[in-house]
């Protein structure tokens, strides 16, 4: 019943998993599902980071603050998903190119199959895409019915399987990190009981989708209550843009942004008449190499039996992530050669060279 990389690469693994009858969702199903959850959490980071980094404003800009809060949440969700996978005896795979999200492309596993996730600067189009990623099955107020399962519904299925088999939760290879300064519930804690697993999955779901009764994030950042869950926060950004008078074009904001274009399939061309200058290629390669190094360090983090070694590796991964911003923003200030008025931006392609 083990699943190989080719099956993952077919892109519909979550669809297949969700179709499996509940009584057949055994230990291998749970491991398989949680590997997909890790990939889902990873898939959100590059598009959100591109939108955040394209804002050329002070840290007090409300849209920048919203995106920064959500990015920190998603980083925590990735760590929580890794802890969930190791507690059931699995090991996160983050360096297999056949598994990693590619842009533009679908979300991993077939969630929201009508949605294409792309990398660009901040536009109403990109923020709308962010909202579709986070959209619950039953938003408040009601929206059009979802064409397939939401991320939250997938996590609910995982939790149901673990509630039926709590003996799968072992507390193995758990990474601990205090991140309460990023918000309530964002710390990485040991998941060695069913109650701890329930609490962790609740954080992921309700930070992203809100609750059935409220659009507010019940696990807000350090600034206190009133913070919206990710879906509603993105919808608010779009609404506020639409209320501006006189109306602004979809790619214009009442604050400065770098006009990053949409990264094409396979990344920016390296050869031919549209090839970028050498300094742009250097920056693109720098981001891709740093991203690959970060993923390798994260994968190693959850392979460690020793907590101190895991902490050191996680610190190193966080340090690599911090290195991404500067070359990414330099790219966002380099014009494309097509006269579109758009600029380059990071590709987030996995590479080790």
pLDDT at 211 > cutoff 90? no
CA 184, CA 76: separation in Å to the nearest integer? 11
pTM above 0.75, yes or no: yes
CA 154, CA 8: separation in Å to the nearest integer? 16
Mean pLDDT of the chain: 90
Percent of the chain with pLDDT over 70: 91
CA 165, CA 179: separation in Å to the nearest integer? 29
What are the tens digits of pLDDT across the range 76-117?
999 999 999 999 999 999 999 999 999 999 999 988 888 999
> What is the DSSP code string of 278-294?
HHHHHHHHHHHHHHHHH
Q: What is the pLDDT of residue 4?
A: 43
| 92 in Cβ contact with 295 (< 8 Å) | no
What are the tens digits of pLDDT across the range 152-182?
889 999 999 999 999 999 999 999 999 887 7
**Domain edges within the chain:** 5-260
H-state helical runs in the chain: 5-9, 13-19, 27-53, 62-87, 124-134, 151-164, 194-209, 230-242, 278-301, 307-322, 325-331
pLDDT at 2 > cutoff 70? no
> What is the DSSP code string of 80-120?
HHHHHHHHTT-----S-TTTS--SSBPPGGGSSTT--B---
CATH topology of domain 5-260: Ferritin (1.20.1260)
Question: What mean pLDDT comes out for the span 312-336?
Answer: 98
Residues in the chain: 353
What are the tens digits of pLDDT across the range 5-45?
444 444 789 999 999 999 999 999 999 999 999 999 999 99
| H/E run at residue 2 | none
């Amino acid at each position: 019943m083990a699943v190989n990389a080719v099956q993952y690469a077919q892109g519909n693994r979550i669809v297949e998993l969700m179709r499996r009858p509940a009584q057949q969702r055994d230990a291998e199903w749970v491991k398989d599902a949680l590997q997909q959850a890790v990939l889902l959490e990873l898939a959100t980071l590059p598009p959100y980071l591109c939108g955040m980094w394209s804002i050329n404003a002070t840290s007090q800009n409300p849209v920048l603050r919203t995106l920064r809060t959500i990015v920190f949440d998603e980083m925590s969700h990735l760590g929580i998903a890794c802890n969930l996978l190791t507690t059931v005896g699995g090991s996160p795979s983050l360096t297999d190119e056949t598994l990693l999200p590619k842009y533009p492309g679908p979300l991993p596993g077939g969630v929201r199959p009508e949605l294409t996730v792309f990398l660009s600067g901040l536009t109403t189009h990109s923020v709308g895409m962010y909202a579709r990623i986070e959209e619950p099955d039953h938003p408040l107020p009601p929206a059009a019915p979802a064409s397939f399962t939401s991320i939250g519904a997938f996590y609910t299925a995982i939790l149901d399987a673990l509630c039926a088999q709590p003996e799968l939760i072992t507390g193995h290879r758990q990474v601990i990190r205090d991140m309460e300064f990023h918000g309530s519930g964002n710390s990485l804690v040991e998941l060695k009981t069913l109650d701890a697993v329930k609490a962790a999955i609740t954080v992921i779901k309700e930070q992203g989708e809100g609750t059935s009764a409220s659009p507010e994030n019940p696990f807000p950042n350090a600034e206190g209550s009133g913070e919206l869950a990710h879906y509603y926060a993105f919808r608010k950004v779009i609404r506020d843009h639409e209320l501006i008078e006189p109306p602004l074009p979809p790619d214009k904001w009442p604050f400065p942004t770098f006009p990053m274009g949409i990264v094409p399939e396979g990344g920016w061309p390296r050869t031919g008449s549209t090839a970028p200058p050498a300094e742009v290629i250097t920056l693109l390669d720098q981001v891709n190499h740093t991203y690959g190094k970060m993923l390798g360090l994260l994968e190693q983090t959850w392979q460690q039996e020793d907590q101190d070694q895991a902490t050191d590796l996680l610190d190193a991964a966080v340090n690599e992530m911090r290195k991404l911003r500067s070359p990414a923003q330099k790219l966002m200030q380099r014009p494309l050669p097509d006269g579109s008025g758009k600029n380059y931006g990071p590709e987030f392609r996995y590479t080790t060279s």
